[in-house]
Structure 1
Amino acid sequence: MYGSHKCPTAKGKLISQSDGSRGYTVKSCYDWLRDKKLQIDWHKAVWCNMALPKHSFIAWLISNRALQLKDKLARLQISQDDLCCLCQSAFETHQHLSEDCHFCKSLLCGASTWLSSDFTQRNILHVINRKRWSSVRKKLCTAAVLACWYTIWIQRNSARLEGIVTRPELVIQQIRRMIVCRFNECKPRVVSPKDRIWFC
């Protein structure tokens, strides 16, 4: 009912705005009805099928700046403490927690060493997507980064609520076990010998 009232208006508006070459289309009407949003380039990486769903969910919250971090709580005057729980050396923001924190860098460096890749660059998901790697390697590297972010969030909460932080070396071993198990569950039917050598 809603669409039937609004579509004639959309049709007239779209036809008047067009240059006459394209005219009215159902797609243009649909886009006008739903207020088409800005296209994003990280959704395929965040919802990678090689990553665990809980890792993808935390990565989605990080990408949307939706985690309840100390900088947001300080802006809302809920808390005056806005230092990172893991390093105590900078404001706790999404940028800091996912890229700049010493604990985060330790995990990403450990994953980089294990997978023979560089995860220390900014906008790492975008960088991985642009690499000329095989699909399997891209998915495994993405899954490793998302696992690091999820583990950072867990360790951050542990540090804040219990005052306990696990050493990065032990966390890297846990992440490696998670990724190997996930790969064995979701690996494609055909994996090239080159990818097998690289991953093993």
Structure 2
Amino acid sequence: MKGSAWTDYTAPLDCSWTWKKIVQVKDIFKAGYHDNTWIHNVSGYSIASGYNWLRTSSPKVPWRFICWNSLNIPKTAFIYWATLHKKLLTRDRLVQMGICSDFNCCLCDSAPEYHDHLFHDCVFTRRCMSLLQLKLQFPVPTDDKIRWFSAGRCKSVLQKLLAGAFYVGVIHAIWMARNHDRLHHSVIHPKVLVHQVWNEVLERWKKRNRSPLSPLETQWLSRVSM
């Protein structure tokens, strides 16, 4: 580097991998400077402003409140994310890939298994969603649940938190029940599935909650926990 400016410096071919990476990062961030001044923050460069500039910005998706709920565990959030993007290997995709030849849904065996059917139209799924509403004791729409959750139709933050985690947990459990039936030819009863998911969500909330509940939240929680 002797005799040359750091901004114009190029790592030699025989230097270490670590030094090459440092120089590479310098080249990336050089675009964020003008006359040796960081142009993305009036207070100068900071790790936060550098990170936000590097990752760029994207429009917020309406399902973020459900998918990235603090009560969700990674596997349930991932499966829910995969259903939103239709990335799971349902039977329609397996047939296209030549892995299997049976189109029928593993849970109801009455229609072709694709994402919209498995997580919306299937008799098993509809039964699970009906039980979900009974457990929560307030109506959740059959269609456009993402808009319903994101619009804040729940009466309290606690209801929104638990309802969102409960819904994502049920979606994950439906996928697990589908896989269990495909491997063992045995379908778990919807009541057992929903009851198990609710207990798991409620237990996670009890371990993490440190805030006092309002009278409305206490009353609702006592009813749904019975």
- Please tell me whether residue 167 in structure 1 is matched to residue 189 in structure 2: yes
- The equivalences for 1:37-56 within 5 A come to 39-56=60-77
Match of 2:85 in 1: 64
In 1, Cα distance between equivalents of 2:198 and 2:150: 21
Q: How far 1:100 sits from its partner (Å)?
A: 1.4
- Please tell me whether residue 145 in structure 1 is matched to residue 167 in structure 2: yes
- Please tell me whether residue 194 in structure 1 is matched to residue 201 in structure 2: no
Match of 2:7 in 1: none
Q: Aligned pairs, how many?
A: 189
Q: How far 1:37 sits from its partner (Å)?
A: 5.3
Match of 1:84 in 2: 105
- The equivalences for 1:74-153 within 5 A come to 74-132=95-153, 133-153=155-175
* 2:69–2:164 contact (8 Å) kept in structure 1: yes
Larger mean Cα displacement after TM superposition, 86-95 or 2-11:
2-11
After superposition, the Cα gap between the structure-2 partners of 1:76 and 1:149, relative to the gap in structure 1 and judged at 3 Å, is same
Q: How far 1:184 sits from its partner (Å)?
A: 0.8
Deviations 1:27-81 (A, max 9, x none): 9xx9998686564221231010122332212111112211111111122232221
**Bigger proportion of residues as helix:** 1
Bigger radius of gyration, 1 or 2?
A: 2
**TM-score between the two structures when normalised by the length of structure 1:** 0.79
**TM-score between the two structures when normalised by the length of structure 2:** 0.70
Q: How far 1:4 sits from its partner (Å)?
A: 7.1
After superposition, the Cα gap between the structure-2 partners of 1:52 and 1:157, relative to the gap in structure 1 and judged at 3 Å, is same
After superposition, the Cα gap between the structure-2 partners of 1:7 and 1:137, relative to the gap in structure 1 and judged at 3 Å, is same
After superposition, the Cα gap between the structure-2 partners of 1:130 and 1:169, relative to the gap in structure 1 and judged at 3 Å, is same
In 2, Cα distance between equivalents of 1:61 and 1:176: 21
In 1, Cα distance between equivalents of 2:121 and 2:56: 35
Q: Gaps (5+ residues) in structure 2?
A: 1-22, 34-38, 42-50
After superposition, the Cα gap between the structure-2 partners of 1:195 and 1:67, relative to the gap in structure 1 and judged at 3 Å, is same
Q: Gaps (5+ residues) in structure 1?
A: 12-24
In 2, Cα distance between equivalents of 1:108 and 1:131: 19
* 2:83–2:115 contact (8 Å) kept in structure 1: yes
Q: Which amino acid aligns with 2:221?
A: F
In 2, Cα distance between equivalents of 1:100 and 1:191: 37
- Please tell me whether residue 178 in structure 1 is matched to residue 200 in structure 2: yes
- Percent of counterpart pairs with the same letter? 26
Q: How far 1:164 sits from its partner (Å)?
A: 0.7
Match of 2:8 in 1: none
* 1:128–1:142 contact (8 Å) kept in structure 2: yes
Cα root mean square deviation, aligned = 2.8
Q: Secondary structure at the match of 2:62?
A: coil
Q: Which amino acid aligns with 2:124?
A: F
Structure with greater contact order relative to length (CA < 8 Å, sep ≥ 6): 1
Deviations 1:100-136 (A, max 9, x none): 1111111111110111122342231331221343211
Q: Which amino acid aligns with 2:209?
A: K
